[in-house]
Amino acid sequence: MQKRLYCGQINSSHIGNEICLYGWVHSRRDHGGVIFVDLRDREGVVQIVFQPEDKELFSKAEKLRSEYVIKICGIVRRRPEGTENTKIPTGEVEILCKDLEIINTSKVLPFEVTEYAEVSEELRLKYRYLDIRRQEMLNMLKLRSSLMAVIRNFFVNEGFIEVETPFLTKSTPEGARDFLVPSRLNPGTFYALPQSPQLFKQILMIAGVDKYFQIVRCFRDEDLRADRQPEFTQIDYELSFVTEDDVMSITESLLSKIFEYISGGSLKIQFYRISYQQAISRYGTDKPDLRYGFEINNVTDVFINTEFKVFRNIISNHGEVNVIVVPQGEFFTRQMIDKYIEFAKSCGGEGLAWMKYDGEKFESNIVKFFSEKELNNLSQRLNLKGGEILFFSAGEHKKSCELLGLVRQKVAKELNLIKKDEYKFVWVVDFPLFEFSEEENRLVSVHHPFTSPKQEDLQLLDENPSEVRSRAYDIVLNGIELGGGSIRIHDPNLQRKIFRILNLDEQEINDRFGFLLEALSYGAPPHGGIALGFDRLLAIITNSESIRDVIAFPKTQKGFCLLTGAPSEVNKRQLDELKIKLNFDE
């Protein structure tokens, strides 16, 4: 097959050549008896010229409309002086058409296929095949494809083996809900679409595949947000005989390679590392954004003997007083401050205390309740210079910090302090192994039940499991969790013990995880890995508002595919084959 020329590839080196091109009519213009057509394909646009001397050809060109599919053959020539278009790569040349074939026509479009068309997302998703014709969307898909090649080459060069794991597997719900698939051959039984390849990649380690990777589709039946889809893509990898540092090191090398590719080698990135407790205490979240300041300060000791009842009561009940300092205090009017107080209440807080400092004195409705010594100590502790506003949150440690973390994010956005072309990576480590779920009234895994506890905390498992730290690590980029991983449990006895702490009985353990425990009993090596969200990474790189913008055929926030109408009803015959009856009465 002869190599095809694309519209966007035509340049001055082709001048004088006769070429043939396929594509879509981007636009048609009639200028003084000459017809100009912008012909578009995936690589760009080139100008086609139709002269009136060839009446039959000119007559066919007059019939062209937007998005007609055509083939043209003609001579490449330089554009007349003064008519060049420096905004496009093909702007020096044009093609004098000698032959035109109209391959297919097009109905009137529901929206124009241009980069600048203001179209609702619903309409774009319904007519995604038109939306993808936009150069912006085509470039997104090409970047996605290129990065997949970069990732694959990286792993192959590092000695990893790519292994495809099943899409139809066993339901082992722990966290998000599974998508279930009924089995026709075994009525009453169900497959589950994998939330991740977690168990299969661990079994691959037991099988001796000591370096595994996969760019894999995963499925989670959960409430959707801008950074979530029911089906998404992960960069998934696992290694045997490794420590946390080994997995983090290979991840840093991979991410460095990706950002080297997108920047042409000009971008060097750094990786910071903090503990989970530090992340909560300093940023109010385990997904800290390091692109701006306003770190949380614990000032409980400054107010330990305060007469201000709100603070005093909280401190006496083992709570704490935390504060963030925003230098741009003049930005905040009283009306804005009131909105911040309402914002804090909407986030579940009791409210938000505040003070402004002009370099000599504090101003707020609560200043009168504090002694001069307390205010001086506060100023010295926070190294105030003047012009700052302080936001306080008092309460239980985690809740108080999380509230200020949300305020911190809101301040940074409203002050336009977030640089979109800046990338701050941070590893969050030393997570708790368990957390208490009020909804389930039991301990649940912070990551998943296959995460190994720290060796030095093993003695706490029996009497104080909530204090056990895990060998887990999350990689966070600009306040977004890019991925999470851990060193896994390779001892079947320890794995069974973790299941018991999670309140699973023996029957449930054997039904859901018996195959894993059996595999672990046949010489399982120590192993660990991580999975990175490919869609999230691409959205950050391209400054996209949502991961829907970087996926070819995404679902809406309610889980619908507007293009195909899925999910949809199926006919009774299909349900009968699966031995399924629908009951809408409950």
Q: Which amino acid is at 561?
A: C
Location of structure tokens 């009993």: 521
Q: Which residues contact 41 (CB under 8 A, 6 or more apart)?
A: 6, 7, 8, 21, 22, 23, 24
Tokens of 10: 């035509």
Q: Which helix (H) or strand (E) holds 190?
A: strand 190-193
Give the Cα separation of 288 and 478 in Å (integer): 7
The CB-side HSE value for 371 (13 A sphere, CA atoms) comes to 9
Q: Which residues contact 223 (CB under 8 A, 6 or more apart)?
A: none
Strands 161-162 vs 211-219: parallel, antiparallel or unpaired: parallel
Specify the CATH class of 292-416 in words.
alpha beta
Give the Cα separation of 519 and 558 in Å (integer): 39
The domain locations on the chain are: 7-104, 138-273+426-551, 292-416
What ranges in 371-439 are assigned the alpha helix state H? 372-382, 397-414
Tokens of 126: 């319904």
What ranges in 208-243 are assigned the alpha helix state H? none
CATH code: domain 138-273+426-551 is 3.30.930.10
Chain centre distance of CA 352: 31
For residue 404, give the nearest of 281, 276, 312, 278 by alpha carbon.
281
Tokens of 580: 């399924």
Residues in the chain predicted with pLDDT less than 70, given as ranges, are 1-2, 115-116, 173-175, 226, 585-586
| Single pTM value for the model | 0.93
CA angle 569, 575, 580 (to 5 degrees): 115
Q: Which helix (H) or strand (E) holds 238?
A: strand 231-240
Would you tell me the crossing angle of helices 397-414 and 276-283 to the nearest 10 degrees?
A: 60
Cα-atom radius of gyration of the chain, to the nearest Å? 30
Give the Cα separation of 200 and 198 in Å (integer): 6
Give the Cα separation of 409 and 578 in Å (integer): 49
Domain 7-104 has CATH 3.30.1550.10: no
